[in-house]
């Protein structure tokens, strides 16, 4: 009985998250028409929406919210490692000496 | 099996311990699969890193190239993939509920949507290729460096993503076979759970691919 109720709750949770993700996807498509469509605003807003969608997917559809602390910590660690790669590369991209650079 | 003598392991004080082994460790199966998902994260993460670097260096050329992609087909695929992950999750809940028929039906829905995604991607790539845009084509090579890089990354990243969709379809067919042979049941479901996690990761990658390739063209 308890299992039935839990599964029923999970089903309604899945549906709620689906509606939220659908709304965020519509927002993704509408954003350049709603906000000032400059490149910086668009990229910033789009990445913000993508991160919000990712958090919903990882927390609910990938069940991390209901997992033990071990799973939560290793997911956070993986994201931190990836973020370090991005930060190091960003420092290269931003502070590189352009005068000797092919891409300059 | 009962007649076999127990396998022993000795600790640092020389005390014997029996090795207890079993082939149904739920948490370890899931943990192992999460570690695999992290290698996938690093694979796609590295490609996103390359994209970010060159996008920062040549933003306008990326925007020009992005404008030539078909945003409608990309948007339809976004909805298709989102719906497919929902069905996959529901299939898992039905399986735990011991509603095998509905679980199988929802996995079949997911497979159908995955095929639809591939069909739309095929149409999209065909349009690009018919316009003479494909890696190392003479038309593409005449374009600016940023545009060449954009399309190179577009074909590589969406291609890799497409391979993951095909792998997902094969995994789901395998899962259906395991359900039929009762290797996956309402109490032994970690394989379906892991395949469902894999499918969510494939969706997660698309959540970033779509705005970076299709939407930035609107922000020029």
**pLDDT 10s digits, B50-83:** 999 999 999 999 999 999 999 999 999 999 999 9
Q: Estimate to the nearest angstrom the gap between the alpha carbon of B68 and the chain centroid.
A: 26
Please check whether residue A52 touches B, CB under 8 A: no
User: Crossing angle, helix B190-210 and helix B145-180, to 10 degrees?
Assistant: 160
Query: Given CA atoms B48, B53, B54, B59 in this order, what sign does their dihedral have?
Result: positive
**Do residue A61 and residue A74 come from a single domain?**
no
**Do residue A59 and residue A16 come from a single domain?**
yes
Tell me what pLDDT residue A1 has: 53
Give the pLDDT mean for A41-65.
Answer: 95
Instruction: Report the alpha-carbon angle B195-B198-B204, nearest 5.
Output: 145
**Do residue A21 and residue A53 come from a single domain?**
yes
Within 8 A of B215 by CB-CB distance, chain A residues are: 28-29, 31-32, 42, 46
Kindly list the domain boundaries of chain B, sorted by start residue. Answer: 40-219
Residue B190 CB contacts under 8 Å (≥ 6 apart), including other chains: B26, B29, B30
Domain containing residue A23: 1-66
Please check whether residue A22 touches B, CB under 8 A: yes
Total domains present in chain A: 2
pLDDT at B150 over 70: yes
Confidence of residue A38 (pLDDT cuts 50, 70, 90): confident
**Do residue A31 and residue A76 come from a single domain?**
no
pLDDT (tens digit, 9 = 90+) per residue, B177-188? 999 999 999 999
The structure's pTM equals: 0.90
Instruction: Name the CATH code of domain B40-219 (choices 1.20.120.80, 3.40.50.300, 1.10.10.10, 3.30.9.10).
Output: 1.20.120.80
**Do residue A82 and residue A49 come from a single domain?**
no
**Do residue A6 and residue A46 come from a single domain?**
yes
**Do residue A87 and residue A104 come from a single domain?**
yes
Chain A interface test: which of B35, B211, B216, B218 (most A C-beta within 10 Å): B211
Give the pLDDT mean for B140-144.
Answer: 93
Give the pLDDT mean for B161-173.
Answer: 98
**Do residue A96 and residue A78 come from a single domain?**
yes
Using an 8 Å Cβ cutoff, are B85 and B199 in contact?
yes
Please check whether residue A69 touches B, CB under 8 A: no
Give the pLDDT mean for B16-41.
Answer: 89
- With CA atoms as reference, report the closest residue to B124 among B85, B84, B74: B74
Please check whether residue B96 touches A, CB under 8 A: yes
pLDDT (tens digit, 9 = 90+) per residue, B185-214? 999 999 999 999 999 999 999 999 999 999
**Do residue A49 and residue A76 come from a single domain?**
no
Cβ of B75 and A29 within 8 Å?
A: yes
In our burial notation (b when 16+ CB lie closer than 10 A, e otherwise), range A67-84 reads beeebeebbeebeeebee
**Do residue A43 and residue A82 come from a single domain?**
no
**Do residue A51 and residue A27 come from a single domain?**
yes
């Amino acid at each position: 009985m308890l299992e039935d109720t839990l599964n029923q709750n999970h089903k309604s949770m899945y549906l709620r998250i689906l509606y939220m993700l659908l709304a965020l996807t519509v927002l993704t498509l509408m954003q350049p028409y709603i906000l000032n469509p400059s490149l910086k605003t668009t990229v910033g807003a789009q990445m913000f929406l993508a991160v919000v969608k990712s958090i919903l997917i990882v927390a609910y559809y990938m069940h991390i919210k209901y997992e033990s602390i071990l799973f939560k910590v290793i997911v956070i660690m993986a994201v931190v490692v990836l973020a370090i790669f991005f930060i190091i590369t960003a420092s290269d991209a931003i502070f590189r000496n352009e005068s000797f650079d092919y891409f300059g | 099996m009962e007649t076999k003598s127990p396998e022993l392991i000795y600790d640092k004080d020389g005390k014997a311990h029996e090795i207890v082994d079993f082939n149904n460790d739920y948490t370890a199966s899931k943990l192992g699969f999460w570690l695999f998902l992290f290698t996938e994260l690093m694979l796609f993460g590295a490609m996103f890193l390359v994209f970010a670097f060159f996008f920062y260096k040549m933003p306008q050329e990326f925007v020009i190239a992005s404008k030539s992609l078909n945003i409608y087909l990309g948007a339809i695929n976004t909805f298709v993939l989102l719906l497919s992950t929902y069905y996959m999750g529901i299939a898992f809940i039905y399986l735990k509920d011991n509603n095998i028929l509905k679980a199988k039906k929802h996995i079949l829905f997911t497979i159908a949507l995955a095929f639809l995604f591939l069909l739309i991607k095929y149409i999209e790539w065909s349009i690009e290729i018919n316009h003479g845009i494909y890696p190392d084509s003479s038309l593409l090579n005449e374009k600016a460096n940023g545009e060449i890089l954009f399309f190179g990354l577009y074909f590589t990243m969406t291609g890799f993503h497409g391979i993951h969709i095909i792998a997902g379809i094969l995994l789901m067919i395998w899962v259906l076979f395991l359900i039929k042979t009762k290797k996956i049941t309402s109490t032994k479901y970690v394989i379906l759970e892991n395949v469902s996690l894999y499918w969510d990761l494939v969706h997660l990658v698309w959540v970033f691919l779509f705005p970076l390739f299709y939407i930035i063209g609107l922000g020029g």
